[in-house]
Amino acid sequence: MKKSLSLIAAICALAMTSACGHDNISSNEQGSTSASSSTTAESSASNNSEKTSDSTKASETQVSSAITTVASEQAASLTEASGKASEGSENDLTYLAMRYYASRSNYRPEFCEIENDDGKIVTIHLYDIIDGHTSTCDWYYIDKNTLKGSNILDNEIDLSETAAAQWLPDVPQRSELKENNSFCGIAYIGYAESMDYRDADPKLNDLFMSSGAVDKFRFLAQLPENYYAQTHLGTQLFLVIPKDPEAQVVVTEYDFTSDKETGRIYSSYNGSPFLLKCNYSDVSSDVRISITDNEGVHTTFSPFISLKDGTPETDCKDVVVFQLP
């Protein structure tokens, strides 16, 4: 605002200078007219009139330019203020919190809500509802002005940071999925009841090697632990490969005895391959995998081991089963 006022003052001074200059020129014209012939006077008056006109036009151009500068600065100032005002809105904060959490954990909670707002610090709750109970993923305590703060573990976070880079491996098997016009592919790696990929269990490495999974799916050697999910009593380890690398994926645990979903165990907003340990028996599957591609096409299926011959199957014809050696 101070800068705008100083520019306006400069405009006024410029206009006054222009007016004074015009008066001086008119006075000089009168003196020149009394000392010269009428022809000379007319010529001099004409020249001085042109100079005055040019000077006036130049002054008007400068004034117009200065006014434009002030208007532009005021508009920019209003835009900046408007931007700052919108930064702390509830919708923006929950969106930023969800983006921050999901891009760093490869998991998108079902709910993200502001639980408390004291005018400066907001408390954001990220959570799921599992079997009727609240399952907290994290709490964020964020300064509305800076978008910085901490989480429940007192780790520093900054919601203004860009989303973290995702794991997007080269997956040659997607060409086979496209050729067969299949939506997704799965592979059964083996029985893994007491193994947990998140613990870097050496027995899992042995299973990858003995099953031939690492030879067929090279990217398994670099698969991050947040691309792994398991049900409570899962024993069968599957690899799931969506055809679309931009697909949205949700995996929910399912209780077939009560015919209801009991909670989400995996969520990803990219279609990178992931490991899934599920099914506590061969009688039925205890998961539902939902995949939506970037065109909005959706499919849901469950993987399981056939009771007839022990081979992996799904209940969806659009899913290919990759065979291991």
State what percent of residues in the chain have pLDDT above 90.
50
245 and 273 in one domain? yes
228 and 152 fall within a common domain: no
Q: Is the dihedral of CA 125, 131, 133, 135 positive or negative?
A: negative
The pLDDT of residue 48 is above 60: no
**Is 179 a domain residue?**
yes
Q: What is the pLDDT of residue 250?
A: 93
Query: Across residues 259-274, what is the average pLDDT?
Result: 88
Q: Count structural domains, the chain.
A: 3
φ and ψ at 187, to 5 degrees?
Answer: -140, 135
DSSP 220: G
What is the pLDDT, as a whole number, of residue 156? Answer: 95
| Amino acid residing at 74 | Q
**101 & 231 share domain:** no
**Within-domain flag for 168:** no
Residue 138: alpha-carbon gap to chain centroid? 19
pLDDT digits (tens, 9 = 90+) for 198-218: 888 889 889 999 999 999 999
**Sign of the torsion formed by the C-alpha atoms of 99, 101, 102 and 106:** positive
Rounded to two decimals, the pTM is 0.62
Note whether 308 and 232 are same-domain residues: yes
- Position with higher pLDDT, 76 vs 294: 294
Checking if the pLDDT of 79 tops 70, the result is: no
- H helix count then E strand count, the chain: 6, 16
> What pLDDT score does 259 carry?
80
Pick the last residue of a domain from 54, 87, 120. 87
Residues 108 and 222 in one domain: no
Residue 165 resides in a domain: no
On whether both 195 and 282 belong to a single domain, the answer is yes
Same domain, 275 and 152: no
d(CA 137, CA 102): 11
Judged against a pLDDT cut of 80, whether residue 268 lies above it is answered with yes
Domain co-membership, 277 together with 198: yes
Q: What is d(CA 268, CA 291) in angstroms, rounded to the nearest whole number?
A: 10
In this model, does residue 9 exceed pLDDT 50?
A: no
| Pair (224, 182) in one structural domain | yes
Full residue range of the structural domain in which residue 115 is found: 90-158
pLDDT for the residue 282: 81
pLDDT in tens, 164-187: 778 899 999 999 999 999 999 999
Residue 175 and residue 166: Cα distance in Å, rounded?
Answer: 21
Which pLDDT value is given to residue 90? Answer: 61
Report the amino acid identity of residue 256. Answer: F
163 inside domain: no
Instruction: Provide, rounded to the nearest whole percent, the portion of the chain with pLDDT above 70.
Output: 72
- 164: in domain: no
In a domain? residue 183: yes
The CA distance from 137 to 101, in Å, is: 9
Spatial contact of 136 and 126, defined as CB atoms under 8 Å apart: yes
The 3-class SS string of 15-68 reads HHHHHHHHHHHHHHHHHHHHHCCHHHHHHHHHHHHHHHHHHHHHHHHHHHHHHH
- Pair 153, 263 in one domain: no
| Rg (alpha carbons) of the chain, rounded to whole number | 36
Residues 263, 275 within the same domain: yes
CA distance 152 to 261: 28
- Same domain (yes/no): 138, 260: no
- Cα dihedral 167→168→173→175 (10° resolution): 170
